[in-house]
Chains A and B, each alone.
Chain A
């Protein structure tokens, strides 16, 4: 196929190429968005390693490496060009690792990440085509298959690094989510919560760090505030209206928002661009729906078996995302059309 024909300009013969408009593109790339998410995971790992030693970092790395290897394998089997470079697999693996408990055995994040990539992501067509968030699905698998290994958290108050190998003797503590589920009256000081000095998953404890990462992702336009803020506000409203612990509305809201993986899911899982709606109103509705589901599951779910339910909520709204998106778009489009028609009618009169 000829790429172009020769032209004479200024006495010189030159070849001109074909190209489609626009000829100008911004420099932002998909890989940068994945990089943003990985960068936003780093502070969480650092904070966790301050409390528990090097083990959390190794767990996250296990998930990450497994996911990348599985992605390569999947691309090979599907005979596609490997899509590791876009960083999506690394992010999924990192997220899976960050949702583990610091004393989880290393094979659990490996199995979960492999499940995420080989069952939830690649069969649906790889990056950009999966329906459910692979990391959320992997956590759901862990919650169903090995709940004790994932939801048993070490006591951070001891300030003793967890051994890298066998973790049999580590002293465990109940996480706020489990305490809330058991109906205990709990109250943490807000500074303790911000520091993350309570039992919980690797990435989901240090509230201050998570909020800072959230602002970073907002500023980089990688995560949409239109999803996260309605989600958090709905959860807060649910906690304020139906408190599960004493100590006033403020305590209830604080405890509900900071316990479990509620905040982490909102920032890292819900905002995943592939599974979330694209339209602004769709995103708002999606966030609200996720919040309602999380709070409903906390109140009526089988909390004895699943202390964390945020990722189930994420999976459920994932399934609804395309429908929400289309309906919301159509609603706004129709309303705007009507408004304009009315304007034109008024202009004619």
Chain B
């Protein structure tokens, strides 16, 4: 159902929905693989976030504009191909202009982003049935939500494992080299999801108390 007009408030609602209250990673458990596997360094985290945003925004826009004209069985291959093309571009940019080392360490996970469930879910699902503005806002929220999770996880893991943040030493003594192992990523994500749920329940109780003073 396409709505004829979307107000700013509705757009903000969509954004907050995908960014926090239905966070794509922490609530819907989508796109865990790169976080757990490669989110060990804040630099990687930011790079992956930027790449995700760079790919997800155009794909969602295109799918929103023309997605409904493509038969539903053809959509997955179409947006996967589109996402791969964009990713090749992004990878080239990272490799040539940003840092070759970064590209080298991310090299497996950048191409894998093309088949990441985030794209399947957001570009293939939400965008097709919504207006371009909503789709763009939703893609931004998804990318930033993903970015929030991966940046927090990778920052914490970098601090714990190497005692650095963004490559700068913090001067810790106590180091936990095991934080780079995937299980640490899973545990961190689990606790973050629990924390988010706790905050939400807190907020829910407050709003419920306001609406219904018993």
- Chain A interface (Cβ < 8 Å from any Cβ of B): 119, 123, 141, 144-145
List 11 contacting pairs A-B, 8 Å CB cutoff, sorted by A: A119-B187, A123-B190, A123-B191, A123-B194, A141-B183, A144-B178, A144-B181, A144-B183, A145-B176, A145-B178, A145-B181
Residues of B within 8 A of A144 (CB): 178, 181, 183
- Please classify the interface of chain B as helix (H, G, I), strand (E, B), loop, or mixed, using the class held by over half of its residues: helix
0/1 per residue, B174-197, Cβ < 8 Å to A? Answer: 001010010100010011001000
Minimum distance in angstroms from A323 CB to a CB of chain B? 19
Cα–Cα distance between A123 and B193 once the two chains are bound (Å): 11
Minimum distance in angstroms from B174 CB to a CB of chain A? 12
Cα–Cα distance between A145 and B184 once the two chains are bound (Å): 11
Contacting A at CB under 8 A, from B143-185, are 176, 178, 181, 183
| A145 (CB) vs chain B CBs: closest residue | B178
Minimum distance in angstroms from B199 CB to a CB of chain A? 15
**Total contacting residues, chain B, CB less than 8 A:** 8
Minimum distance in angstroms from B182 CB to a CB of chain A? 10
Minimum distance in angstroms from A218 CB to a CB of chain B? 34
Cα–Cα distance between A145 and B187 once the two chains are bound (Å): 14
- Chain B interface (Cβ < 8 Å from any Cβ of A): 176, 178, 181, 183, 187, 190-191, 194
Closest 8 pairs between A and B when the two form their complex, measured CB to CB:
A145-B178, A119-B187, A144-B181, A123-B194, A144-B178, A144-B183, A123-B190, A123-B191
Cα–Cα distance between A144 and B176 once the two chains are bound (Å): 12
Minimum distance in angstroms from B190 CB to a CB of chain A? 7
Minimum distance in angstroms from B161 CB to a CB of chain A? 12
| B178 (CB) vs chain A CBs: closest residue | A145
Minimum distance in angstroms from A322 CB to a CB of chain B? 19
- Please classify the interface of chain A as helix (H, G, I), strand (E, B), loop, or mixed, using the class held by over half of its residues: helix
| B177 (CB) vs chain A CBs: closest residue | A145
Residues of A within 8 A of B194 (CB): 123
Cα–Cα distance between A123 and B194 once the two chains are bound (Å): 8
> With contacts A123-B191, A145-B176 known, what are 9 further pairs, Cβ within 8 A?
A119-B187, A123-B190, A123-B194, A141-B183, A144-B178, A144-B181, A144-B183, A145-B178, A145-B181
Residues of A within 8 A of B183 (CB): 141, 144
Cα–Cα distance between A123 and B176 once the two chains are bound (Å): 22
Minimum distance in angstroms from B43 CB to a CB of chain A? 25
Cα–Cα distance between A144 and B183 once the two chains are bound (Å): 10
Cα–Cα distance between A141 and B181 once the two chains are bound (Å): 11
Minimum distance in angstroms from B35 CB to a CB of chain A? 18
Residues of A within 8 A of B178 (CB): 144-145
Minimum distance in angstroms from B106 CB to a CB of chain A? 24
Residues of B within 8 A of A123 (CB): 190-191, 194
Residues of B within 8 A of A119 (CB): 187
Minimum distance in angstroms from B202 CB to a CB of chain A? 13
Minimum distance in angstroms from A130 CB to a CB of chain B? 13
Cα–Cα distance between A233 and B186 once the two chains are bound (Å): 35
Cα–Cα distance between A141 and B178 once the two chains are bound (Å): 9
| A119 (CB) vs chain B CBs: closest residue | B187
Cα–Cα distance between A145 and B179 once the two chains are bound (Å): 9
Residues of A within 8 A of B187 (CB): 119
Cα–Cα distance between A119 and B184 once the two chains are bound (Å): 11
Minimum distance in angstroms from B157 CB to a CB of chain A? 14
| B181 (CB) vs chain A CBs: closest residue | A144
| B193 (CB) vs chain A CBs: closest residue | A123
Cα–Cα distance between A145 and B183 once the two chains are bound (Å): 11
Minimum distance in angstroms from B184 CB to a CB of chain A? 9
Cα–Cα distance between A291 and B118 once the two chains are bound (Å): 38
| A123 (CB) vs chain B CBs: closest residue | B194
Cα–Cα distance between A35 and B194 once the two chains are bound (Å): 32
Residues of A within 8 A of B181 (CB): 144-145
Residues of A within 8 A of B190 (CB): 123
Residues of B within 8 A of A141 (CB): 183
Residues of B within 8 A of A145 (CB): 176, 178, 181
| A115 (CB) vs chain B CBs: closest residue | B187
Residues of A within 8 A of B191 (CB): 123
Minimum distance in angstroms from A306 CB to a CB of chain B? 13
| B176 (CB) vs chain A CBs: closest residue | A145
Minimum distance in angstroms from A129 CB to a CB of chain B? 14
Minimum distance in angstroms from A123 CB to a CB of chain B? 6
Minimum distance in angstroms from A134 CB to a CB of chain B? 13
Cα–Cα distance between A119 and B194 once the two chains are bound (Å): 12
Minimum distance in angstroms from B194 CB to a CB of chain A? 6
Residues of A within 8 A of B176 (CB): 145
Cα–Cα distance between A123 and B195 once the two chains are bound (Å): 11
Minimum distance in angstroms from A37 CB to a CB of chain B? 26
Minimum distance in angstroms from B146 CB to a CB of chain A? 23
Cα–Cα distance between A8 and B186 once the two chains are bound (Å): 65
Cα–Cα distance between A54 and B176 once the two chains are bound (Å): 30
Minimum distance in angstroms from A116 CB to a CB of chain B? 13
Minimum distance in angstroms from A346 CB to a CB of chain B? 52
Minimum distance in angstroms from B198 CB to a CB of chain A? 10
Cα–Cα distance between A123 and B189 once the two chains are bound (Å): 13
| A140 (CB) vs chain B CBs: closest residue | B183
Minimum distance in angstroms from A80 CB to a CB of chain B? 14
